[in-house]
A = this chain, B = another copy of it.
Amino acid sequence: MKSHQIDVRIYYEDTDVGGVVYYANYLRFLERARTEWLRAAGFELSDIQRDMQAVFVVRRVEADYHLPALLGNLVTVTCEPRHVGFSKLVIDQSVRRGDELLLGAVVTLAFVSAGHNKPIPMPKQLRAAMQ
């Protein structure tokens, strides 16, 4: 599971009156790609929450906005793990439209017990699937 990518269509809901995708909404797209990356690795976030009482929470986002996505665009959102720790993940992500880099991001996540915000070790098979 070195990396993963998904396609995202831009709808009215994603845009704002400035004519482009609203800046917070790119973070929704990034999270969809991370979710699909885990699903492709065999893990469902809903199972993780129910069975392990655990969730991934974002600890840090660095995002550089290069070019705006527009209504109707089909963009590609990528997800590539840079570091897989015991309870910490660092992931390189991007949003592209064909050859154009629209957004680059580094997202740091922690695996925590649901409702407690306290880091706990990821199960071995989850870590293995990510590497």
A contact face: mostly helix, strand, loop, or mixed: mixed
How many chain A residues touch B (Cβ–Cβ < 8 Å)? Answer: 42
Segment from A12-20, A79-87, A89-97, A122-130 that makes contact with B:
A12-20
Rounded to whole angstroms, the CA-CA distance of A20 and B32 in the bound complex is: 17
Looking at A18, A20, A44, A60, the one whose CB has the most chain B CB atoms below 10 A away is: A18
A41 contacts B by Cβ under 8 Å: no
User: When A13-B24, A28-B11 are in contact, do A18 and B72 touch as well, CB less than 8 Å?
Assistant: no
Interface residues of A (CB under 8 A from B): 9, 11-13, 15-20, 22-25, 27-28, 31-32, 35, 44-47, 49, 55, 57-65, 67-68, 70-72, 114-115, 117
